[in-house]
Every structure is written in C-alpha cells, then in structure tokens.
Amino acid sequence: MHIDELLTFSQPAWINETTAVYRERIISADWGQGRTAFGGITAGMVFTAINAQVEDSRVLRAFNTNFIGPITLDYPFDIEVVKLREGKNVSHFSGQIIQNGKVCVASQACFGVGRVSKISVENHEVHAMSAPRKAQFIPQIPKVTPKFLRHFDLAIAEGGVPFTGRKTHHYHGFMRFSQAPETLTDGHLITMIDAWPPTLLQMMRWPAPASTVTWNIEFIHPHRPVSGADWFAYQAHTRQAADGYGHTEATIWDKDNEVVAISRQTVAVFD
C-alpha cells in the first residue's frame, strides 16, 4: 500500500461529542516490522486521525507515542480519537489503535495557534552533510530486512548497518519516501522519521529483537514549503544505554537546512 492510502481517512463514527472512531483500518504486510506493523506508520496514522479533528489555525507542537503491543497486519483495527481539551490557544487530543479489544498504540498530541510575541530565539543549528544522489542503506534481503524499508530511501553518512558489531552508536544521513507522496504532511514526516533503525542495533554482532517503547517528537514552526520527493537530513545520537534500554535524541532538517523536528526515543533491546 502506498503511504497516501494509509494516511487518507473518511469521516469517523462519533461516539459522543468528544470521541470519534475510525473503524476497520488495515495495514498491509509490506509495512511489517518483525511480528508487528512498522511503528512509524502506526504513529502517522494516529496523528492523521487526530489532525482531522483540529482547527486549521492550530499546528502540531508535540506528539508523544507509546507502542504498547503488536498489531496484526492485514487485519482490521480501530483508531479512537478523544478531544481532551480545546483552549483559546492550545488543544490536546489523545489517539489509540485498538485491535481485538486491546490497545496497541497510544498517542497524545498538542496543537497550538501562532501568537504575536516579543520573544524570539532563532534556531541556528545546521548540518554539514551533502545531500545524496541515491539511497545507500540495507538492500531488501528476505527474512532479514524489515519489509517496511522498501517504502523509504535512506542514505548513511555516518554510522553502520545493524548487527555489524560497530563501536559507533549514532546515525547521520538522509531520508525520503521511495515513492513520493502527493503532499508531504506532518503525518508523512512522523512516519518517515521513524524509518531509521535504533542507533544501538549497529553495536550488536548478530540479529536480536529491539523495539521503541516511547517516542516523543516536537515540531518546529513555521515550516518552509517542501515536496514529497525532498531529502530530509537526520542525525541521531545515543544519550545513554544500560540495562537493556537506550535513550536517543535526533534532529531533522529540511532541504533548506532548517530544523523541522526534534525526536527522542526510549528503545528496548533484547541482546
């Protein structure tokens, strides 16, 4: 399934004045990651469902997701959206993917309207990487490479392929969709940012399970116009890892070398 098919929603069923449900959604097997669905697409779908209920004047400021349990591919699930509070300037929503009566993914989103302010601090953080001409990452190897990676072009500038026993624990590089979406929304960007493997996997010497437990992403506004074919720069670093858990931070830049998002993840590794 193309990314635009998964991030297109019809009208929901309303349970009450604050709760809407999108029923019978399906993620196809080509978006699989191990025994579940790729986390980025589940987060992107929850965000898109939430965003459909938000006023156009309010933009995404922060999005937090907990990956609670596996999602069965090619099998229906519901996305439930709840308006927690809508104030004069800020709105809070929650979203859940529910399959077979169990919550698999739970997210909370914060949207805020832009306001006139005397406070202005510019973000001058830039990267020095040159945009790639083509993807340079893991080839599609049956039963080895996660299926969802076929939907992305990743190009490593620094860091190693997972399970190669590297001493490095960071990634620098670029990313884009292999088949460009018609319009690149924040839902597309959320999905794409999660395409990179956890920074710790390159340190392992053989394949072992790993999964994101909690993911927080903050968006920097205003955004410059971008297209679905643009490369986005990505740099992720491990802040700390011990006891089977790692904590990483990443910065994402657009084609104009302006920061568009800041990402933080807690990752569980089972080595």
Domain regions of the chain by residue span: 3-269
pLDDT score at 121 = 87
pLDDT score at 120 = 86
**Around 265, how many Cα atoms within 13 Å sit in the side-chain half-sphere?**
27
Domain 3-269 has CATH 2.40.160.210: yes
pLDDT digits (tens, 9 = 90+) for 183-200: 999 999 999 999 999 999
- Element (DSSP H or E) covering residue 5: helix 3-6
Residue type for 31, please? W
Per the prediction, the chain carries an average pLDDT of: 94
Backbone angles phi, psi at 256, to 5 degrees: -95, 10
Cis peptide before 222 (omega within 30 of 0): yes
- Residue for token digits 């965000």? 47
Predicted confidence (pLDDT) at residue 229 exceeds the cutoff of 90: yes
Q: In angstroms, rounded to a whole number, what is the distance separating the alpha carbons of residues 72 and 74?
A: 7
The DSSP string of 121-174 is --------PPPPSS-BS----TTTS-GGGGGEEEEEEES--TTS--S--EEEEE
- Element (DSSP H or E) covering residue 242: strand 232-242
Q: In angstroms, rounded to a whole number, what is the distance separating the alpha carbons of residues 235 and 230?
A: 17
Note the pTM of the prediction, 2 decimals: 0.94
pLDDT digits (tens, 9 = 90+) for 135-181: 888 767 766 788 999 999 999 999 998 989 999 999 999 999 999 99
